[in-house]
Amino acid sequence: MATAFTALATFDDRPFFDKALRYGVQQGIITPGQLQSLQEGFSKGIVQIANFFGTAHLRPELELALHRMVNLVSLYLEDMSGGDMQFAAASLRDKTFLSHSKAGSDMLKRLHAMPDSTLIVGRSASPESQRAYLDEKTAADTISLAEYRSELAIRQENQNTIDFAFWLAKTMGVSRNDIDDADSLIRSAMLVIFVDQAELKLPTRTAFVGLIKAAKQAKAKLNEDRLKVFLKEAPTEFQQLARRAMDRFIERDLPQIRASSSTADKLLYGESGEIYFVRESLDEDVREYDRLVAKEWDRVTRGEADDPAVVATVCFFVATGFPPKASMLLREAREIVHIFRTRGFDSQAVIKFVDDHAPEAIREDLLKSWADDLQREAEEQLADSDPNWPDTHMDRALEYLRRTCRVAWKARRR
């Protein structure tokens, strides 16, 4: 194998390891015998790295392993020495080459283990993902010390945010297992603290409606004493994070809450871009939220919007120009069939009704169900266009409505 100097000469970008080694030899810090030991360690390391990522039996793999090893050693040396060539050269003299390579690899492994976002679920730190990360950062996409430190700072901030969210969850009555995003929990916590009379607990869906209503009031403002008391027992770093989070809430989130077009339902389930956390409660009336945010929908469906027959009934009434309701009489069914056969369904009326009145969380599913399933099936079942299978007296159409809708008549006896 070529000497260490010959091998390093192929790297025109002068990695830090190259600079430190040359400096050490030139200044007499590294003796010829120590240089030979370094080269032996270098050769062993290349084989180990090549086998870890692929195979040591192919020349391209060995050349890539050389590149990887120089990157790892350079990353560690520059970080631990702070760029001091004499200190770095002394480290090469006193420690094995493999220990330097392993130290650089450990730096990247620790970085990979830290969160790359404030999402708490869905992230894998498996050996496979770790290996892929090392592959990425030591091959074509070489990471410099400046890039490493920048990413380290970002990931450390993410970790701090997650730790703060866990503290808030514990303080405000939520299990950390119920959290999937730190930012959304922090945002909801700031909303609770901002609303002066609110109980210092993370809200349920119905409580969230009340919080938004209170925060919308122009006279509502932060009670500094309330925030201080809440943070009294918090670690210093969490107090600082809470102050920043509250400032961000007042600057960014509060104007959005107070916008005339904003509603609690839109903020919670719409596409506002900012997500809020709400906790599930077995004690909460499942209808209460719909009553608060979608009164007309709740009234029309009689609180039974989870019943497909009720939803179908409402849609057919709206699609044929009738006032919507949850149950269908036989005479109404005949009129619906007649109108459909005369002019078809008004699908846009269904879309508008859902957009205007249904809760945000179910609108997309309702519209998809109407367009993809209910409308298509009904147009086929209610039609009387097949001369080989006439339905002049609507028997077939009425039976379809009886099976599909919430109706007030029984099947005809055969």
- How many helices (H) and strands (E) would you count in the chain? 22, 0
- Give the whole-angstrom CA distance, residue 211 versus residue 193: 10
| pLDDT above 70: residue 365 | yes
Mean pLDDT in the chain? 89
Phi, psi of 198 (to 5 degrees): -70, 145
pLDDT at 314 (0 to 100): 97
Q: Which residue has the higher pLDDT, 66 or 148?
A: 148
Task: Look up residue 328 and give its DSSP letter.
Answer: B
Q: Which of 140, 143, 139 is nearest to 52 (CA)?
A: 139
Answer for the pair 363, 294: CB distance below 8 angstroms, yes or no: no
Residue 172 confidence (pLDDT) above 90: yes
Beta-carbon contacts of residue 307 (< 8 Å; ≥ 6 apart):
406
Which position has the higher pLDDT, 176 or 122? Answer: 176
Mean pLDDT computed over 331-341: 95
| 269 Cβ contact list (under 8 Å, min separation 6) | 359, 360, 361
Check residue 257 and report its DSSP letter: H
Report d(CA 43, CA 39) in Å as an integer.
Answer: 6
Mark out the alpha helices in 95-178 (DSSP H runs): 97-113, 127-138, 145-171
> For residues 211 and 185, what is the distance between their CA atoms, to the nearest angstrom?
15
Total-model pTM: 0.77
Structure tokens given for 75: 């990353």
Predicted confidence band of residue 12 (pLDDT cuts 50, 70, 90): very low
